[in-house]
Amino acid sequence: MLRDLVGTEPFWRGIRLYYQRHANGVASTADLRRAMEEASGKELGWFFAQWLTRSGVPQVSGSWRYDAAAKQVEVTLDQTQTSGLYQMPIEVGIAVTRTPPTATPVQTIRVMQLGQQHQVFTFPSDSEPSTVTLDPNAWVMMQATWERKQ
């Protein structure tokens, strides 16, 4: 999840920096956080607090539907856990079959910022998707249900 948040190159720079500073020594989570913040240029205190100091994982109930009139995909996400809200980026993969109809669907990845109990996101799509996938790259540690609404 951290690699997805900061990006692959900054993530590996942070790992190398952390290793360089603490090889054959003692290190803490705070040391890892500092190395990742330095490498990425992002403040990550919220991420480490959320994922390393609290129990549980997000429980997400999600659905999607295609609005042909508006030419958009509507994604609804609800956090249903009782231990407080999580904030995180989460991807949705929207696959649309192009011409000819036998062609392999082209998937577009869109990123949503989850942080509220109930959120609705819309994404433009000229045609109805063949599939819409929540977290297609499996970046987020969560329990999720996902369905298509008509």
Per-residue pLDDT tens over the stretch 64-103: 999 999 999 999 999 999 989 999 999 999 998 877 766 7
Residue 52, helix vs strand vs coil: helix
pLDDT the model gives residue 83? 86
- Tell which residue, 60, 112, 48, has the closest CA to residue 85: 60
Both tokens of 51, joined, read 């994922």
Per-residue pLDDT tens over the stretch 35-73: 999 999 999 999 999 999 888 899 999 999 999 999 999
Helix 29-40 with 8-22: angle, nearest 10 deg: 130
Q: What CATH number is given for 59-148 in this structure?
A: 2.60.40.1840
Per-residue pLDDT tens over the stretch 96-131: 887 776 677 888 999 999 999 999 999 999 899 999
Q: Give the start-to-end residue ranges of the domains of the chain.
A: 2-52, 59-148
Per-residue pLDDT tens over the stretch 10-22: 999 999 999 999 9
